[in-house]
Structure 1
Amino acid sequence: MKSATTSPFCLAPAACLSFICLFLLTGCDTTPRERQEVVRQEARKLDTLAERAGDRLDRASDRAADYTATARARNRQPLDPAAESAFTTELLGTYATIDQLTPQSIEPAYTQLLRQTRAKRRQWTQRDWDYATSVYKRLNNQLKAIRLDVVGRDELRIRGLQAEFVAMESGRDIKDLGQAVKE
């Protein structure tokens, strides 16, 4: 995070303050025409600062739009079924046959998914996250199908694991967007 002193938005108040101090200090010893020139000079400085800040915002906005367009294009690409199957096996291990999970095995499957996600998420690309999200959604669909038979204690654990998965995925999205805007 940038410090307040390097932000273009924090420079303008500092410039205003210096202008006010300069104006008050020179007000008694100058003529109105001299004060008018000081005002013009300080206004030019403020305009320059505002223009630079606007340019930075434009560039950041363009980069964010590029990132969003790239993400949309990636999301339109279908997942490879073979790669999705391999990813499911990698993430879920013995629980990879999601449609056969029972009320007793669904909570350990989520636990396995989160254990693997925690371990591998730092190396994952956005496409890897797409595959992980697909596995996560399939687990959620299976949970919906058997939910009425799941013990309440297990369902509470599952809800916590779901929240953690979504938080990790959102964190990655925010990190990637931040890097795209910064570059």
Structure 2
Amino acid sequence: MNSSPNFRLLTAASVAALLLTASCDTTPRERQEAVREEARNIDTLANRAADKLRTVGRRAARFDSVSRQRNRQPLDTAAARTFASQLLGSYGDIEQLTPTTIEPAFVQFMQQVRTNRKQWTQRDWDYATALSRRLNSRFRTIRLDIKGRDELHIRALQTEFTALETSRDVKDLSDAVKDK
């Protein structure tokens, strides 16, 4: 049962209208007016809800448009190298990762993501995502030579990264559609 103030108001008004329309002490004209008044109240609430939905829809579309435009912009190669160096440290040369060094590279990457994610912009997340994709590609290339225990840990770290990234996207979308 919905307990929003508008719903409770609507329910109370509906009950009052029903009581009035079922009452033997009222005239048909009075009952007709009570039904009209209730219909106006419902229309007003529906119009307000539609306005809010329209506003939220426009804000969500604007957020999506900005995100798409940002994603069309290529990442700066120098900035990507700097980001890789910051997030991977000594594991920065992804193509040289071996079955024994890829798991520590993922651990280093996720430690840095956890540490820095709160102050990252969406563009920073774009760089981190590109780096994650490169790590995942290298992982797929050498996966058959990785110990099972390390592979499971890597998969857990990949899942954590996806969850953190998605959480940020949802937060940013939520912020974009909020009433300001």
TM exceeding 0.5:
yes
> 1:161 Cα shift?
0.2
Matched, 1:19 2:18: no
Q: Is the 8 A contact 1:87 1:132 kept in 2?
A: yes
> 1:25 Cα shift?
4.8
Matched, 1:143 2:139: yes
1:7-55 deviations in Å (ceiling 9; x for gaps): xxxx246414432234315622211110000110111011001000000
Q: Is the 8 A contact 2:103 2:154 kept in 1?
A: yes
| Distance in 2 of aligned mates of 1:169 and 1:120 | 12
**Residue type at the aligned position of 2:173:** L
Cross-structure match for 1:162:
158
Matched, 1:65 2:61: yes
> 1:144 Cα shift?
1.1
Q: In the TM superposition, what are the counterparts of 1:16-165 in structure 2 within 5 Å?
A: 16-25=11-20, 27-165=23-161
| Distance in 2 of aligned mates of 1:62 and 1:13 | 29
Q: Is the 8 A contact 1:12 1:50 kept in 2?
A: no
CA RMSD, aligned part only?
1.5
> SS in structure 2 opposite 1:103?
coil
Structure 1: runs of 5+ lacking an equivalent: none
| Distance in 1 of aligned mates of 2:57 and 2:81 | 37
Structure 2: runs of 5+ lacking an equivalent: none
State the 4+ residue runs in structure 1 displaced beyond 4 angstroms. none
TM-score (norm 1): 0.92
| Distance in 2 of aligned mates of 1:168 and 1:12 | 36
1:74-120 deviations in Å (ceiling 9; x for gaps): 00000000000000000000100100000000001000111000000
| Distance in 1 of aligned mates of 2:127 and 2:3 | 39
Number of residue equivalences: 177
**Residue type at the aligned position of 2:37:** Q
| Distance in 2 of aligned mates of 1:4 and 1:129 | 38
Residue identity over aligned pairs, in percent, reads 54
Query: Could you tell which deviates more after superposition, 49-58 or 15-24?
Result: 15-24
